[in-house]
Amino acid sequence: MRYPVYILLILISLILQITIFAFNPVWGITPDLLLITVISLSLLNGYRQGAYIGFIAGILQDVFSSGLFGINTVTKMLLGYIFGFLEKKIYHRNIITPLFTMILATVLNQLLVVLLTDHIMLKVELWNHFKEIIFPLTVYHLILALAIYPTIYFINNKYFEE
Amino acid sequence: MLILILTLVNLVGAVAPEKDWGEGLVIDAVAPFLGVINWVNDTFNDTLNVLLNYKEVKEENNRLQKKVKKLNWKIHQLNETAKLNDRLRELLEFKIRKPFTFIGAKVIGKSADNWSQIVTINRGSKSGLEPKMLVVTYNGYLVGRVEQVSTYSAQVLLLNDSNFTIGGLIAKKESREIGIVNGSLAETDLLKMNKLPWDANVEVGDKVITSGLSKLYPKGVLIGKVVKVEPEDYGLTHSARLKPFVDLGTFEEVLVITDF
């Protein structure tokens, strides 16, 4: 029962991301709801599940974006895996730590995408990109995570906590 | 080991380049939800708009009704002229240019990351869409190219995506120079036209249309306007910056050119 619900959560994030959030961009950028969902789920479930969830979310995101297929799969899986190690180390009821991981995850995700796509690496100046996309994106993600993390925490706690 | 993996990856690309690895299935599964959410979003926005600007909407309605009457009269006149035109053309045995055939579609989704410029439209192979067809707006300005087609929806790669490439032609009497139009990542609202000859007669304000040299794409679809010309490759070629005629962030309905 746990995994169908997680996949449903991922699908909802994807659909919201490419419709409402993409049609009404803030500061000209689309937020990555999938990233927030993946990190939240992996913080609550550990590294192994984090990697699975990241893989599924990433492959879905790749279907709906152009360019190198698989880039989001790799980055999302990696981030789900890395941040899953924090599962036992943080206090889940406190929202501050998850928010900090969200900042770290956003910056890491963007840097990984830049590093793995050579045509971005060669053509775009990193600093410009940082100023125009990564910084506003981080702020945006932070605000969204304030709503998403508690929701996922609530669902996780209410239905799947033994 | 690494070399083996890389070779395998390349082989897969070479053996099955056009294979659909279930992507179409995923897109088709998600597309209905996109449609529903879009509909809710549109209805909500429209209703809110009408409620908030009730007076303006009413005035606009009056104005438009008057305009419709005027335009109806004009259509009637134009029909007469068209008939006359046809008759005269027949007399002159003029070759009639075949018009394009279109399919209308609605944008139901956009790309899932900030690197790519893709939209999902609500028509697919069932309506006769195929990859590589060009997508335009109602005024005939180029928007992009159909990439992935599934049964009931399709993905369109927009002009300003960095993977988009098409042959362009400067539409001017005294110069018909040919170049390659690309999207760019650094400035997503501008396009780049590369490989113009060094002595090309290109100025700011010139219009650029599709060249139609490849037979894959029709000729004469408007792409954009030149806003900047600069030398490239140490003066061997020129490159121009183009501003697309369409605002690529906001359009909602498109036409797909299915035959030309």
Specify whether the CB–CB gap between B116 and B105 falls below 8 A: no
Could you tell me if B30 lies within 8 Å of chain A, comparing CB atoms?
A: yes
User: Tell me, what CATH number does A86's domain have?
Assistant: 1.10.1760
A126, amino acid identity: L
Reported as a single tens digit per residue, the pLDDT across A56-76 is 888 888 877 776 677 788 888
How many domains is chain A built from? 1
Minimal C-alpha gap between B11 and chain A (Å): 16
Minimal C-alpha gap between A32 and chain B (Å): 7
Cα distance between the two ends of chain A: 13
Residue B147: phi and psi, rounded to 5, are: -105, -75
Spans of chain B, pLDDT less than 50: 17
In B120-198, which residue ranges form alpha helices assigned H by DSSP? none
pLDDT (0 to 100) of residue B97: 57
Closest CA to B158 of B140, B178, B134: B134
Interface test with B, best of A7, A10, A12, A19 (most B CBs within 10 A): A19
- B260 Cβ neighbours under 8 A, 6+ residues apart: B98, B100, B101, B218
The pTM for the full model equals 0.72
* Whole-number Cα distances in Å, B70 to A142, B64, B82: 54, 10, 18
A7, amino acid identity: I
Domain that holds residue A107: 2-160
Interface test with A, best of B20, B43, B106, B115 (most A CBs within 10 A): B115
Cβ separation B113–A16 shorter than 8 A = no
pLDDT (0 to 100) of residue B68: 93
Cβ separation A125–B110 shorter than 8 A = no
* Whole-number Cα distances in Å, A7 to A34, A95, A140, B97: 11, 23, 24, 52
Cβ separation A119–B161 shorter than 8 A = no
Minimal C-alpha gap between B156 and chain A (Å): 10
pLDDT (0 to 100) of residue B45: 80
pLDDT (0 to 100) of residue B184: 75
* SS3 sequence of chain A: CHHHHHHHHHHHHHHHHHCHHHHCCECCECCCHHHHHHHHHHHHHCHHHHHHHHHHHHHHHHHCCCCCCCHHHHHHHHHHHHHHCCCCCCCCCCCHHHHHHHHHHHHHHHHHHHHHCHHHHHHCCHHHHHHHHHHHHHHHHHHHHHHHHHHHHHHHHHHHCC
- Taking only the tens of pLDDT, chain A with its 162 residues reads 777 888 888 888 888 888 777 777 777 788 888 888 888 888 888 888 888 888 888 888 887 777 667 778 888 888 888 888 887 777 777 778 888 888 888 888 887 877 776 655 555 566 666 677 778 888 888 888 888 888 888 887 777 665
Minimal C-alpha gap between B81 and chain A (Å): 42
Cβ separation B186–A123 shorter than 8 A = yes
**Cα(B193)–Cα(B242) distance, integer angstroms:** 7
Could you tell me if B28 lies within 8 Å of chain A, comparing CB atoms?
A: no
B102, amino acid identity: F
Q: How far is CA A57 from the centre of its chain?
A: 9
Interface test with A, best of B114, B120, B163, B192 (most A CBs within 10 A): B114
pLDDT (0 to 100) of residue B17: 47
Minimal C-alpha gap between B117 and chain A (Å): 7
Complex-level ipTM: 0.71
- B249 Cβ neighbours under 8 A, 6+ residues apart: A25
List B residues 109-128 in contact with A (Cβ-Cβ < 8 A).
109-118, 120
**Cα(A38)–Cα(A66) distance, integer angstroms:** 21
